[in-house]
Structure 1
């Protein structure tokens, strides 16, 4: 039996990731089901507990019960711990999987790191994990302190409540979880840049991915001595695509919702731009909202679905197909339109296997969202755009909702649980599996050109 379990957990890195996160989710659901986790002292049904645990570990933010009013202090602490474990585990394991694929780590090191033990014994693996932990603590401490000060002196909260609110939202934001302690999420702080901007900063930093953050820190020190940047193509793609999506999301949100009396209409032009930027940042990866999403225009919901599907950076806390996947596909399309034989980005030629992997991840994501939307439409009577929005939000582990999450029956909630789980771990494990299975063919088949278009 022991050998069976060892084989199950160590035969493939992707399997290790899936099994580890599944066990954490089940453990979290079991604890949240206990009477001590709810405010009324009653046991929570299994589906609700499983949904909440999955949403926390997969750092999504979709909820079927209000976090601040349903769960007790103990339950909120469990959710916060699941968010932290999910965010740290995802960043650490995804980063180490990337190192394994690039050939810089042996399989034994990778499997040891995936087990998330603290006795790694390997210098490079230890540095990666300590770097993830150090970055996480530093960002969460800085954002949590800023928010706590604002809640204390700007809103008159007690010192204890200010610290709790500040650090809960900081952890939730950096891990891109989107869990809030208010029934209206952050709507009450919609026009307060001292709350929205720090949270947006934490979300963006967490969504860049740890490899990018580590490289930025490393090259900042290098620039002090040499004055040269020397970023890798991955970092450049992530930064440029992230900035482009943030700007385009802000502009489209402002344009589409500027006159909507139920969303941006009542605000001043400055507050409208602030809210548009905040919504653009949240729709990429996090689940906080400061606007009534259910009152938004259908065009805005479609734009948001696009941003949620793309997601954030690789090997980070964000979901979606990832910005680098989107950038690689865009480069391939541009090369085809120009009639060029190779896809190039920033004076670099993209490897053919990278294009195939990007196309595979994107098409599988589309197929999964369409299939899940079709299944959800059979179990709930709701507008199509709302159901599609919910499915994309779950797959992209974003957590935004038009307000219908709690209306789904247990069957619908189980579908959303599957979407959150696959959406968080699917792209990481799929790309790793594809890369590890890559092999060279010693012969070439005859070439044929089917009719396209």
Structure 2
């Protein structure tokens, strides 16, 4: 990666994504990118390009009606570049961190994380690309068939709709060619289920999916091969993701069950289906099958929490990541029990990892609080509405109560910054903290201030 890349890989990642945003903004400002043939304003183009590259999905203009096919394809390209870039670069940064460890730590890491071996840089890049294209192709085929057969779209239009929404789903982008997202398909499992499968696979992260693939391949090649345990990262990610998915689906379904503007008028099956979909969508795909602006305040709060936590590491989901959330939960449990060290599924959690997790979470909370206050000073919207938009931007989700397009330019630019920081911040910050780890030749006398 070169001398600069070895010393400052996080800077290269940020610079690469910033360049993609700049190029995307310039292209979207071209008259050919709009249906009207007129140039789009710099703020609108910048907002859209950032939302696409950071696979967020927040928009200030309707994607299907404002942009021409050239503009839509530009957005789709930015989504693909952003999604593949995040998965590849996050995995590569993990390898860089591993190489900077001591030999003993490298051997331990290699034994523990069999999903991505040391020296597997080429395999990581190829694996991310192959996995992404394969999943997108399968989902696109299903969606395209449904659009053609079930909604009388011509073949060309049906394939285009299928490909666009498949790429948007897998990359957790949430961009839709329909003004009201997936609300027209609230009763169609042939649309909703493939979308869920796509954003779950993308949201779990490449290390988890790759480990599952290698384990399945090993089983198929030799049914008598000795079973190997899952890595700690995979176990934490899958278990925590599943728990939050179930909790979110139950909470949203219960809160919206009788809401006449959301689940209320639906039948039993549709209520459950859309409750589950809307409980999983905040992890961070940004599609919605019910009206977000009409949801109960308690549902908005639950969604805020789910969005902030996000999905798996080295995936297309945003947020602080489920592993960070789970590790902090283990720290709290150990402290409540009065245990001197933190144990996670038969492993001892290093103090440096604990501090890194706390740092990522507190800086994320600080960014959300400061941005919420700033936008509330600029506008007259209520706290729960502004907080929802801010968390959605920071966690690169894309769900919106409908105020994004009506925000002043200053607030929209703040959301642009928040999307960029939220997309790259947790990854680059965690990498920078790990690479800055170093020993200390002395310690001061210990003292215990009063806590609480």
In the alignment, what sits opposite 2:153? 157
Partner residue, 1:361: 360
- What CA distance in whole angstroms lies between the structure 2 residues aligned with 1:197 and 1:394? 25
3-state DSSP of counterpart to 2:40: coil
CA–CA distance in 2 between the matches of 1:325 and 1:28?
31
TM-score (norm 1): 0.93
Q: Which of residues 92, 98, 103 in structure 2 aligns to 1:102?
A: 98
Q: 1:358 to 1:183 in 2, by over 3 A?
A: same
Alignment-derived partner of residue 350 in structure 2: 351
Q: Which moved more, 1:374-383 or 1:18-27?
A: 374-383
Map 1:76-115 onto structure 2 (within 5 A): 76-103=72-99
Counterpart position of 1:418 = 417
Task: Report the equivalent of 1:244.
Answer: 243
Q: Distance in 1 between matches of 2:232 and 2:238?
A: 10
Other structure's SS at 1:63 match: coil
Q: Give the aligned partner of residue 384 of structure 1.
A: 383
What is the aligned length? 433
1:14-413 correspondence to structure 2 within 5 Å: 14-103=10-99, 124-224=120-220, 225=222, 226-413=225-412
Do 2:100 and 2:435's aligned partners in 1 also have CA atoms closer than 8 Å? no
Between the aligned partners of 1:126 and 1:340, the Cα distance in structure 2 is 42
Q: Any idea what SS the aligned residue of 2:288 has?
A: coil
User: Distance in 2 between the 1:104 and 1:9 partners?
Assistant: 13
- Secondary structure of 1:367's aligned partner: helix
CA distance in 1 between partners of 2:5 and 2:38 (Å): 36
- 8 A contact 1:62–1:400 mirrored in 2: yes
C-alpha contact (below 8 Å) 2:320/2:426 kept by paired residues: yes
How far residue 407 of structure 1 moved from its aligned partner, in angstroms, is 0.6
Contact 1:207 1:316 in 2 (8 A): yes
Conserved 8 A contact 1:9-1:19: no
Residue aligned with 1:378, SS: helix
CA distance in 1, matches of 2:33, 2:373: 34
The alpha-carbon distance between structure 1 residues 185 and 325, as it changes in their structure 2 partners (threshold 3 A), is same
Structure 2 CA distance for partners of 1:334 and 1:435, relative to 1, 3 Å? same
- Residue 229 of structure 1 and its aligned partner are, at CA, apart by 4.0
Give per-residue Cα distances to partners, 1:307-359, cap 9 Å, x unaligned: 00000000111100000000000000011111111111212221111110000
Q: CA 1:195–1:38 in structure 2 vs 1: closer, same or farther (change >3 Å)? A: same
1:1-30 Cα offsets, whole Å, 9 max, x none, are: xxxxx9876640000000110010000000
The answer to whether the aligner puts 1:12 opposite 2:8 as a matched pair is: yes
Deviation of 1:125 (Å): 1.6
* 2:95 and 2:121 in contact (8 A); partners too: no
Where 2:126 maps in the other structure, the secondary structure is: helix
Q: Using the TM superposition, give the Cα deviation of residue 105 of structure 1 relative to its aligned residue in structure 2, in angstroms.
A: 9.9
- Per-residue deviation, residues 71-102 of structure 1 (Å, max 9, x unmatched): 00000000000000000011100000011112
Q: Helix, strand or coil for the counterpart of 1:283?
A: helix
Q: CA deviation at 1:191?
A: 1.2
Structure 1 residue 442: deviation in Å? 2.2
Stretches of structure 2 that go unaligned for 5 or more consecutive residues are 103-117
Shift of 1:171: 0.2
Shift of 1:443: 2.1
Tell me, yes or no, if the aligned pair for 1:257 and 1:296 is still in contact at 8 Å: yes
Name stretches of at least 5 consecutive residues in structure 1 with no aligned partner: 1-5, 107-121
Aligned residue in 1 for 2:113: none
Shift of 1:366: 0.2
Supply the distance in 2 between the matched residues of 1:150 and 1:123 (Cα, whole angstroms). Answer: 42
CA deviations over 1:31-60 (Å, ceiling 9, x no partner): 000000000000001000000000000000
TM-score by length of 2: 0.94
